[in-house]
Amino acid sequence: MRTLAIIGAGSWGTALAIACASRAERVNLWAREANVVEGINHAHANPLFLPDCPLPANVIAHSDFEHCLDGAEMVLFVPPSHAMRQAVLYVKPWLHPGQLLVSATKGLEENTHLRMSQVIRGSLPEAFAGRIAVLSGPSFAREVAFGEPAALVVASSNAELASAVQERLSGGNLRLYTNQDEVGVELGASVKNVIAIAAGVCAGLGLGSNTLAALITRGLAEITRLAIAYGAKPATMAGLSGMGDLVLTCNGALSRNRSLGIDLAKGRALNEILGGMSMVAEGVKTTFAALELAKERSVEMPITAQMADLLAGRKSAPEALRELMERSLKPE
């Protein structure tokens, strides 16, 4: 591949630029912040996100979309979920249907509750509809940036497109698998962040392995119910973007959503926690979006509902836990 364009130079976009640098002659990385562009181009490091991870020389940062998209065969979209629609509309004039478009953002749009691939499709002409794929899976940006092995999944209803992305991005320490279940991959990757907040709450309350195992298991059950209600395949939830990503985010110390849950359990206010974070905790907005999706299809999501009450300040962490434990008894 001659040129890969990445829209979004946060920690995950930067990590992908590092990991994919060996797969392209040139990696164009768009950044909003002027100091990030300068740091990458002059010091080969992102001073705001992953400052201690050196970037290869063929990673070039840009502050304008025209030069970033120039000659790109593939475009990875990696903005926060709330900025995806705006990012796509900004780059739209320099996109063409011959490019491979890949969403690498996990989350749901806050007001529409749309998945990121739906946001991209809805923002572009019909000619692009069959050229969009999703990249997901268990992947802390810092570990990927430092070259630790990781397995991801690329999903598209267009099997040939998924295979094309797989072929171009696999290599080195990244191994990609293909999947045609976009719905399952995106919902699994998004809603696991809600369960990760709950995992953090358990840790913040000093609870142990038994509680965490129960949470992950029942969390996967409600993610699966939601995904199936929207047409996903159950088997997807046992894969990398389902169980794999859920286990990572609920256990890993690098999880922003888990850290947020720990702070909530300790009594810190949500606004205070978010104000001190340099990166986005996608699970906050996803909690409310997922709950709305569940209501539309009459899907029961008790953990998500309790996290919504906790995030909204309607309940304390101990109250949310008690209500989960005191729910009516039922078969597994």
pLDDT at 189: 96
Same fold: 3-180 with 190-325: no
Whole-number pLDDT of residue 277 = 77
CATH architecture assigned to 190-325: Orthogonal Bundle (1.10)
Identify the CA nearest to 12 among candidates 140, 152, 173, 190.
Answer: 140
284 contacts: CB under 8 Å, gap ≥ 6: 197, 257, 260, 270, 274, 311
Query: Residue-wise pLDDT tens for the chain (332 aa)?
Result: 899 999 999 999 999 999 999 999 999 999 999 999 999 999 999 999 999 999 999 999 999 999 999 999 999 999 999 999 999 999 999 999 899 999 999 999 989 999 999 999 999 999 999 999 999 999 999 999 999 999 999 999 999 999 999 999 999 899 999 999 999 999 999 999 999 999 999 999 999 999 999 999 999 999 999 999 999 999 999 999 999 999 999 999 999 999 999 999 999 999 889 888 766 678 899 999 999 999 999 999 999 999 999 999 999 999 999 999 888 888 88
Gap between the Cα atoms of 274 and 280, Å rounded? 8
Residues linked to residue 175 through DSSP beta bridges, in sequence order: 151
Q: What is the pLDDT of residue 118?
A: 97
Q: What is the pTM of this model?
A: 0.93
pLDDT score, position 274: 87
92, 192, 266, 295: the active-site residue:
192
Question: Is the CB of residue 29 less than 8 Å from the CB of residue 53?
Answer: no
> Is 330 a catalytic site residue?
no
Other residues' Cβ atoms within 10 Å of the Cβ of residue 40: 22
Helix axes 182-204, 283-296, angle to 10 degrees: 120
Res 329: pLDDT: 80
Distance CA 219, CA 209 (A): 15
Sheet with 59-62: strands ordered across: 59-62, 26-30, 3-7, 74-77, 100-103, 132-136, 150-155, 174-179
Q: What is the pLDDT of residue 4?
A: 98
For residue 219, what are the contacts with CB-CB under 8 A and spacing of at least 6?
192, 194, 195, 198, 246, 250, 303
Structure tokens at 26: 């040139």
Note the pLDDT of residue 312: 93
The listed CATH number (3.40.50.720, 2.40.30.10, 3.40.630.30, 3.30.930.10) that belongs to domain 3-180: 3.40.50.720
Domain edges within the chain: 3-180, 190-325
**Residue 112 structure tokens:** 């529409």
CB–CB of 68/59 below 8 Å? no
**Token pair for 308:** 């919504």
Q: What pLDDT was estimated at residue 35?
A: 94
Phi, psi torsion values for 230, nearest 5 degrees? -105, 15
pLDDT the model gives residue 278: 67
How many contiguous H segments (helices) and E segments (strands) does the chain have? 15, 8
Residue 11, number of CB atoms within 10 A of its CB = 24
Note whether 9 and 30 are within 8 A (CB).
yes
